[in-house]
A and B are shown apart, each in its own frame.
Chain A
Amino acid sequence: MKKKSIFVLSLILIFSMLLGACASATPKDEAKPLKIGGALALTGINAPIDEPALRGIQLAVDEINANGGILGRQVEFVNLDSKSDPVTSADVGVQLVQQGVVAIIPAADFDMGGPACREAQKASIVCISTTASSPLFGSKALGDKVFTLSMWNTTMGAAAAEFAYKEQKWTKVWVVTDTFIDYTKSLSRYFTEQFNSLGGTVLFEDTYTQGAQDFSSQLARIQTAKEKPDFIYVSSYMPDLGTIIRTIREAGIDLPIMGGDTYDDPGLFEAVGADYGNEIYFVTHGFLSKEANPRVEDFITAYTKKYNEAPEAIWIMPGYDVIYVLKKAMEKAGTTDGAAVAKAMEEMTFDNLTGQLHWSDAASGHMPTKAAALVKLESGKPKFISWITPATLPEP
């Protein structure tokens, strides 16, 4: 038994040495590949968002490599799991810098992805998040080489407020905020700020904690409210978001429910199903169909070809976009130098799958200007309503 395992082990060793020799032999003919580093979280609470983004990234890298690469060099994407943990994020950032990457894609969250970007900033390379939406995610808090592809929560909250107040003429809202993470709290704050400034009334601000799986006391308050709201704004995320919406609908309350990009989850669509999946509106990054952007059709075809299944979550598209943004910016700058690429990114407007995107300069925080997609659930199926660009935004 022992002899056998030693034999197998030595075989593995020999093979890996051979493989290593092959790998180091090839790049001699061409220039060395361009390394882009990922500090995406494949485990922990950010994994549901980062894992699909990684699939989008890999698709974009394959496409770019088949068409000549970036600046004539092939692209190699290395992801090290940052485990949804701020400390690991920083460690992974350091490791990636040591491996000589020319850009870092961090976990899509300020707390869990920011530390990797700080390391990128120190090494003077660009760091772009796929969907971190905190207004802190930009040049002011993290440095002049840090960007996010997502709209900030200011836009996400304001878009919902404008749609509700201006288009639907809803004036009274009941707000429920999940207090477990910063994202949900900041989204509610910007939504209520904008809804108030438009002239709407916030009847009540209730809270919920992710993991409680019980919404009965909050429900009791809604049911016994003296003044009935026109709609309910719920800022939470899966899996408890499913519980909240189901509890509201099970009690026979069919008021419209609104929220942010965490609603954009096929798990939620199925969890509420055809019975409860009505009159639910959410603001998200884009929509997986050609109604929102004609280019999405080609993307879906390419994705289906690579993975043998249709893209099921919105989070794949920002992953795909982020690599093309890097390609365009590096080709405009003509170099992979961090300062030059960051400058090119500030000057350009990008035509992404998730819509047109422009960043302000470093002095004003790299604020992203991007339209928000408004999606509605009808009988448990998502339906694209429109792109919204809020006329005014709350202060970050």
Chain B
Amino acid sequence: MITFGFLINAISLGSLYALISLGLVMIYGVLKMVNFAYGELIMVGGYGLYLVGSKFNLPWIFVAAAAILAAMLVSYLTELVAFRHVREKSLTALLITSFAVSTLLQNGALLIISPRAKAVSLPKIFSSSITFLGITTPARNILTIAITILLLLGLSLLLRRTMLGIALRAASDNFRMTRMLGIPANLVISSAFIISGAIAGVVSLFWVGRTASVTPSIGQGPLLIAFIAIVVGGISSLEGAVVGGFVYGILFSFIGVLLPQTLLDYREAFMFVIVILILLWRPEGLIRVKYAEERVG
């Protein structure tokens, strides 16, 4: 049953999960907060695709760019309007704020657009299949893998070669020290939100591209996946998020294929048992970092 086509599917799912997790861990890095409104950024990207795609007659690449920009903008705005004001408060305040932002965005979409699923326009490549080495696979799968690799390369260049990247990495290691060295906190945090929004925007292309429609609650699934993946992979580093995403996606695919019919109902249960075993073996996740500190205000 494990064919080459299935492997491509599994790797494609793994890379999508890796991307999703990366967006979540970006913010965790600087704020030490799991942003529960992250799923809604994916939703915003989806509605961007729907609105721009159905109202304006633009080539799809511009529609996609608009969707990614919309997710970046909303991500930045949530930081500006909501998170910035509670940043100095307790972690509980931050977490509750992120739930509030999530509810607000979701219900906003519900009221302003519609509770019903809206179909988004997709380019031909999202619904065509390609045949090579004797298998037929959706072109989208290959595209997902390629875009993930490109984004990972781009992001690691940004983080290692630019001033902003170095500041971001320094901030996620030791935020107080970074500030003392004269790096403006607002700049670092806003950048993290904007990058997280950009990743959410790209994710929305592929996530919404699977079903070709968007609903107000579409972000809930990816949020949960990202949350589990970063815990499994190691919450303190970007590498951990990527590894966690791949492990989760590939594991999920394999469990789905290898379980016998009578146990298929318990696919999630098996998945979580494995996750718990991994955590018992490595409580800090698969990727350990040399130094990680608790959150400071």
Q: Which residues of A contact B (CB under 8 A)?
A: 42-43, 45, 47-48, 51-52, 179, 204-207, 209, 211-214, 216-221, 223-224, 238-240, 242-243, 246-247, 250-252, 265-273, 275-276, 313
Cα distance, A213 to B39, chains bound together (Å): 14
Is A206 within 8 A of B264, CB to CB?
yes
Interface string of B97-135 (1 = CB under 8 A from A): 000000000010010001111110000000101000000
Cα distance, A276 to B2, chains bound together (Å): 26
Is A217 within 8 A of B256, CB to CB?
yes
Task: Give which listed residue, A42, A213, A218, A242, contacts B115 with CB less than 8 A.
Answer: A42
Tell me the smallest distance from the CB of A204 to a CB of chain B, in Å.
7
Is A252 within 8 A of B117, CB to CB?
no
Cα distance, A48 to B115, chains bound together (Å): 5
B interface secondary structure, majority: helix
B181 interface hit (Cβ, 8 Å): no
> A271 and B221 in contact (CB under 8 A), knowing A206-B264, A207-B267, A214-B253?
no
Tell me the smallest distance from the CB of A266 to a CB of chain B, in Å.
8
Task: Give which listed residue, A209, A219, A243, A267, contacts B119 with CB less than 8 A.
Answer: A267
With a CB–CB cut-off of 8 A, which chain A residues contact B127? 246, 250, 273, 275-276
Can you list 28 A-B contacts (CB < 8 A)? A43-B110, A47-B115, A52-B116, A206-B264, A207-B265, A211-B224, A213-B211, A213-B221, A214-B252, A216-B6, A216-B9, A216-B13, A217-B6, A217-B256, A220-B1, A220-B2, A223-B3, A224-B1, A238-B116, A239-B213, A239-B214, A243-B210, A246-B127, A250-B127, A251-B129, A270-B212, A270-B213, A271-B211
Is A51 within 8 A of B115, CB to CB?
yes
With a CB–CB cut-off of 8 A, which chain A residues contact B222? 213
With a CB–CB cut-off of 8 A, which chain A residues contact B218? 239
Is B257 within 8 A of A220, CB to CB?
yes
Is B115 within 8 A of A43, CB to CB?
yes
Cα distance, A43 to B217, chains bound together (Å): 10
With a CB–CB cut-off of 8 A, which chain A residues contact B256? 216-218
Is B1 within 8 A of A238, CB to CB?
no
Q: Interface residue tally of chain B, by bracket?
A: 35 or more
A246 nearest CB neighbor, chain B only: B212
Cα distance, A273 to B124, chains bound together (Å): 12
Is B253 within 8 A of A217, CB to CB?
yes
Q: Which of B136, B212, B220, B221 has the most CB of A within 10 A?
A: B212
With a CB–CB cut-off of 8 A, which chain B residues contact A209? 267-268
Cα distance, A239 to B214, chains bound together (Å): 7
Task: Give which listed residue, B5, B107, B118, B136, contacts A267 with CB less than 8 A.
Answer: B118
Is B136 within 8 A of A45, CB to CB?
no
With a CB–CB cut-off of 8 A, which chain B residues contact A206? 261, 264
With a CB–CB cut-off of 8 A, which chain A residues contact B255? 217
With a CB–CB cut-off of 8 A, which chain A residues contact B117? 48, 238-239, 242, 265, 267-268, 271
B31 interface hit (Cβ, 8 Å): no
Is B119 within 8 A of A213, CB to CB?
no
Cα distance, A262 to B185, chains bound together (Å): 49
Cα distance, A270 to B267, chains bound together (Å): 31
Q: Which of B114, B129, B214, B252 has the most CB of A within 10 A?
A: B114
With a CB–CB cut-off of 8 A, which chain A residues contact B136? 251-252
Is A51 within 8 A of B116, CB to CB?
yes
B94 interface hit (Cβ, 8 Å): no
In the complex, which residues 111-168 of chain B have their Cβ closer than 8 Å to any Cβ of chain A? 114-119, 127, 129, 136-138, 140
Cα distance, A217 to B267, chains bound together (Å): 11
Task: Give which listed residue, B3, B9, B129, B215, contacts A48 with CB less than 8 A.
Answer: B215
A252 nearest CB neighbor, chain B only: B136
Q: Which 9 A-B pairs have the closest CB atoms?
A: A217-B256, A270-B119, A267-B117, A47-B115, A216-B9, A271-B212, A242-B211, A211-B221, A243-B211
Given contacts A214-B13, A216-B9, A239-B214, 19 further A-B contacts (CB under 8 A): A42-B115, A43-B110, A48-B117, A204-B261, A207-B267, A213-B210, A213-B211, A214-B252, A238-B116, A238-B213, A239-B218, A242-B117, A243-B210, A246-B210, A250-B127, A251-B137, A267-B117, A270-B212, A275-B127
With a CB–CB cut-off of 8 A, which chain B residues contact A266? 116, 119
Cα distance, A276 to B126, chains bound together (Å): 12
Cα distance, A210 to B235, chains bound together (Å): 26
Q: Which of A42, A218, A270 has the most CB of B within 10 A?
A: A270
Tell me the smallest distance from the CB of B212 to a CB of chain A, in Å.
4
B259 nearest CB neighbor, chain A only: A217
In the complex, which residues 237-257 of chain B have their Cβ closer than 8 Å to any Cβ of chain A? 252-257
Is B211 within 8 A of A239, CB to CB?
yes
Q: Which of A211, A220, A247, A265 has the most CB of B within 10 A?
A: A220
Tell me the smallest distance from the CB of B51 to a CB of chain A, in Å.
14
In the complex, which residues 79-103 of chain B have their Cβ closer than 8 Å to any Cβ of chain A? none
> A250 and B110 in contact (CB under 8 A), knowing A213-B210, A267-B119?
no
Tell me the smallest distance from the CB of A344 to a CB of chain B, in Å.
34
A46 nearest CB neighbor, chain B only: B115
Cα distance, A76 to B280, chains bound together (Å): 60
Task: Give which listed residue, B119, B129, B253, contacts A271 with CB less than 8 A.
Answer: B119
With a CB–CB cut-off of 8 A, which chain B residues contact A205? 261
Tell me the smallest distance from the CB of B143 to a CB of chain A, in Å.
13
Cα distance, A82 to B260, chains bound together (Å): 40
B10 interface hit (Cβ, 8 Å): yes
